[in-house]
Amino acid sequence: MFFHRQELQFKATPDQPDAVYARKLQEVLGGQYGEITVAMQYMFQGWNMHIPGKYRDLVFGIGAEEFGHVEMLATMIAQLLEKSPLGITEEAVQSDPAVAAVVGGTDMQHAIVAGAGARPFDSMGNPWQGAYVTASGNLLADFTSNANAEMQGRVQVARLYHMTDDSGVRDMLAFLLARDTMHQNQWLAAAAELREQGAEELPVPSNFPLNKEHREVSYQYLNFSDGQRASEGPWASGPTPDGKGEFSYHEGPTTNAPMPPPTHPDARFYGTTELPNTMEKMAGATQDKLKKE
């Protein structure tokens, strides 16, 4: 169950309206790596988790905080839009290129659809979608996904920090940046613990019997491009992070197989098959089948 409190975790009030910036903030509200994504992702990880205790408490404990971040951003966006020129006709607007530029750079649906309100969409107007969520049940994979989400999110917030000089907005972003710092550290600590305790190891999933994979290509760097400096990296020689092998470097594939011949499905799919002479035979076969129907 969820309980809502009509307070924010941190102050979210801009100094002045800025409709274009409101649109930009939508990215970290409703984008691929926005707050709706992490809120939903952590909750679904909790609901799908196969293990009680600290890991489930962890995803629930943070997931609920992230819904509060959605709220902070939505509240901020509505305020940024409150007094902005959103395309409502005024004489001044028409003749002022600066105002025209602002209107041109806004999210049109902020005005037309939401009446100066926030939306569960990204900065280019794409609706948030469940396909952004990762919750596989494998915790090492999922915590790595979480670490990535917090990294991408913090990169985006850092960029947004430099796209405004509104001190109220920056203050809120400074708070979100700090929380992203926490969450990056937290997921990496949790992932490290999983590996230390042997709950999951590399390669993920670690329970899959390694002897069932083709071990001869498990640590080969195969270079399919013509730049060769990748041979200099720690992924091309030396021990592997999973502690189970040694990297080696190879130009191109070390295995190959001929392409299987083209398929010939039932003639009634009407794919083009052989050239005329053969066609006639096949068509004959088809006609026979068709006559039966």
Q: If you search the block for the tokens 């408490």, which residue do you land on?
A: 57
Q: Count interface residues toward a copy of itself (CB under 8 A).
A: 210
**Binding letters toward a copy of itself, positions 220-239, x by CB under 8 A:** xxxxxxxxxxxxxxxx----
Of the candidate residues 15, 16, 47, 281, the single one contacting a copy of itself (CB under 8 A): 47
Neighbour tally for 9: CB within 10 Å: 15
Query: What is the smallest separation between the CB atom of 249 and a copy of itself, expressed in angstroms?
Result: 10
CB of 69 to a copy of itself, least distance (A): 10
Q: Is 246 in the site for a copy of itself (CB under 8 A)?
A: no
In DSSP terms, 127 is beta-bridged to 121
User: What's the min distance (Å) between Cβ of 10 and a copy of itself?
Assistant: 5
What are the C-alpha distances in Å from 175 to residues 2, 129, 145, 277? 23, 26, 22, 74
Q: Which residues ranging from 127 to 156 are in contact with a copy of itself (CB under 8 A)?
A: 127-141, 144-145, 147-148, 151-152, 154-156
If one asks whether residue 197 binds a copy of itself (CB under 8 A), the answer comes out as: yes
Eight-class DSSP state of 230 = G
52 interacts with a copy of itself by CB under 8 A: yes
Residues 255-274 that bind a copy of itself (CB under 8 A): 255-274
- Contact between residue 37 and residue 132 where contact means Cβ atoms under 8 Å apart: yes
Instruction: Spell out the long-range contacts of 206-212 with Cβ–Cβ below 8 A and sequence spacing 24 or more.
Output: 206/140, 210/244
φ and ψ at 249, to 5 degrees? -115, 135
Q: Could you say which residues in the range 9-38 bind a copy of itself, by CB under 8 A?
A: 9-13, 20, 23-24, 27-28, 30-33, 36
| 15, 16, 105, 281: which one binds a copy of itself (CB under 8 A) | 105
64-83 residues in contact with a copy of itself (CB under 8 A) are: 64-65, 67-68, 70-71, 74-75, 78-79, 81-83
Cβ 236 to a copy of itself shortest distance, Å: 9
Binds a copy of itself (CB under 8 A): choice among 22, 35, 38, 121: 121
Is 97 a binding residue for a copy of itself by CB under 8 A? The answer is yes
- Cα-Cα end-to-end distance for the chain: 59
102 is an interface residue for a copy of itself by CB under 8 A: yes
195 is a contact residue toward a copy of itself (CB under 8 A): no
* Side-chain half-sphere exposure of 19, counting CA atoms within 13 A: 25
3-state secondary structure of 144: helix
- State the Cα–Cα distance between residues 46 and 58, nearest whole angstrom: 9
* 151-190 binders of a copy of itself (CB under 8 A): 151-152, 154-156, 158-165, 174-175, 177-182, 184-190
User: Smallest gap, in angstroms, from Cβ of residue 231 to a copy of itself?
Assistant: 8
Q: At what angle do helices 139-161 and 35-47 cross, to 10 degrees?
A: 170
Residues 6+ apart with CB under 8 A from 259: none
Nearest approach, Cβ of 18 to a copy of itself (angstroms)? 10
Tell the smallest beta-carbon distance from residue 253 to a copy of itself (Å).
Answer: 5
Are 106 and 75 a contacting pair, CB within 8 Å? no
Q: 251 forms bridges with which residues in the sheet?
A: 223
